[in-house]
Amino acid sequence: MTQNKIIDLRSDTVTKPTKAMRKAIANAEVGDDMYGEDPTVLELEEEIANLLGKEKALFLPTGSMANQIAIKAQTQPGDDIFVGQNAHNWMFESGATGFISSVQITVLPGDGRYDANAVRTHYKPDNVNFAPTTLISIENTHNVSGGVTWDRKEVQKVLEAADELDLSKHLDGARLWNASTYYNVPLDELTKGFDTVSVCLSKGLGAPVGSLLAGNEQVMKKAYRLRRILGGSMRQAGIMAAGGLYAIRNHREKIQDDHENAQLLALGLNKIDGFSVDIIKTQTNMVILDITDPNVSTQQLVAEAKKEGLLFLSLSDKRIRLVTHLDVSREDCIRALDILSKISNKALVYS
């Protein structure tokens, strides 16, 4: 039976709720969240605020909305903001920052992570020639760079530079659970100094839906209004919050398995001729595979693997991404390695 199971390594967003999670969802106590009466949403918001060490947290449908509300709440139209290379809130939120906040984005140099020096160098003061810089955004872990974590000391230096320049600081922590597992430190150690933090329940934690934005009372008051403006205020949202509560209480310890499975994949793939993985950068649940063989393309690999029941994403002609998650076992990863090894040999022979 396992032989026919589809192994879906496209993203950690593809997980389906377990039976136990569905039961928690079915039994959720609900109320009208617009009236502040949904007990399950309130419980989730309080639990997340405590975990993140912030005064308040707000339940939202998506991580994109959380990021965009954070930017809108802390900027004025015409401002400049800093993000890292390929940041999700720059590249993959459909231009929302320009559309919603009318700010200019400066992408700081680096592999998605940047340093304090870049913050100081690219800072634009409030001068008639410039869009004044008012916000920095950090993505930890960084998605496109393969789930890499930021150096904790560098984050401190970046935050210090931002404070000197009086900039607001947002943390896109869609996968902060993974970062906390990697560093083996509590979440609130990673959120200190940030004004706003977004986290997703629908990625490594395996909930079907939901994200939260956390911060102090003042910024969250603005966020509350912005959620309504963007159409993100919900009613009996406890149905969704229950999946999130179940996830943070039962699935956090499983993230370590995802990291070990990613290591297994990375080490195995590195042994296949024509493939190369940067093991040092394989820190959490993502593996970035570079195809070094000139005769093999990602399109070929994706198509051939799909025939064998293995799914992953092509990032470019020579680069693919494989993501481990709750619905992928160690055995699945071993089978994925077998499939890729078989395909790569075939691709080499027939190309």
- Residues 305 to 344 in contact with ligand PLP, rule: CB under 6 A: none
Out of 75, 104, 134, 143, the only residue in the binding site for ligand PLP (CB under 6 A) is: 143
* 174 is an interface residue for ligand PLP by CB under 6 A: yes
Residue 316 DSSP SS3: strand
Closer Cβ to ligand PLP, 200 or 296, answer by number: 200
Binding mask 67-96 for ligand PLP (x = CB under 6 A): x--------------------x--------
* 8 is an interface residue for ligand PLP by CB under 6 A: no
* 268 is an interface residue for ligand PLP by CB under 6 A: no
Closer Cβ to ligand PLP, 44 or 272, answer by number: 44
Which of these ranges, 61-69, 95-103, 185-193, 320-328, lies near ligand PLP under the rule CB under 6 A?
A: 61-69
113 alpha carbon, distance to own chain's centre: 14
Helical H runs in the chain? 19-26, 39-52, 63-73, 88-91, 96, 116-122, 152-164, 176-183, 187-191, 217-229, 238-250, 255-270, 298-307, 330-350
State how far the Cα of 170 lies from the Cα of 150, in Å rounded to an integer. Answer: 14
Q: Report, in Å, the least distance between residue 164 CB and ligand PLP.
A: 27
Return the structure tokens found at 335.
Answer: 């089978």
Which of these ranges, 62-70, 111-119, 273-281, 285-293, lies near ligand PLP under the rule CB under 6 A?
A: 62-70
Binding mask 199-238 for ligand PLP (x = CB under 6 A): -x-x--------x---------------------------
Q: Report, in Å, the least distance between residue 223 CB and ligand PLP.
A: 16
Q: Report, in Å, the least distance between residue 257 CB and ligand PLP.
A: 20
Q: Residue 132 in contact with residue 167, Cβ under 8 Å?
A: no
Out of 172, 195, 258, 332, the only residue in the binding site for ligand PLP (CB under 6 A) is: 172
Q: Which residue is nearest to ligand PLP (CB)?
A: 63
Q: Report, in Å, the least distance between residue 274 CB and ligand PLP.
A: 28
Out of 15, 40, 64, 196, the only residue in the binding site for ligand PLP (CB under 6 A) is: 64
Number of residues engaging ligand PLP in binding (CB under 6 A): 12
Pairing mode, if any, of strands 133-139 and 168-173? parallel
Q: Report, in Å, the least distance between residue 313 CB and ligand PLP.
A: 11
Residue 126 CB coordination number (10 Å): 11
State how far the Cα of 342 lies from the Cα of 310, in Å rounded to an integer. Answer: 12
State how far the alpha carbon of 25 is from the alpha carbons of 31, 120, 239, 240, 271, in Å. 14, 47, 5, 7, 43
State how far the Cα of 10 lies from the Cα of 322, in Å rounded to an integer. Answer: 6
Closest CA to 276 of 285, 286, 260, 287: 287
Closer Cβ to ligand PLP, 133 or 211, answer by number: 211
Out of 80, 139, 258, 304, the only residue in the binding site for ligand PLP (CB under 6 A) is: 139
Q: What is the DSSP letter of 71?
A: H
Q: What is the DSSP letter of 275?
A: E
* 63 is an interface residue for ligand PLP by CB under 6 A: yes
Q: Which residues contact 309 (CB under 8 A, 6 or more apart)?
A: 4, 5, 6, 7, 339
Closest CA to 205 of 21, 7, 47, 41: 21
Closer Cβ to ligand PLP, 51 or 69, answer by number: 69
Q: Report, in Å, the least distance between residue 8 CB and ligand PLP.
A: 15
Residues that bind ligand PLP (CB under 6 A): 62-64, 67, 88, 139, 143, 172, 174, 200, 202, 211
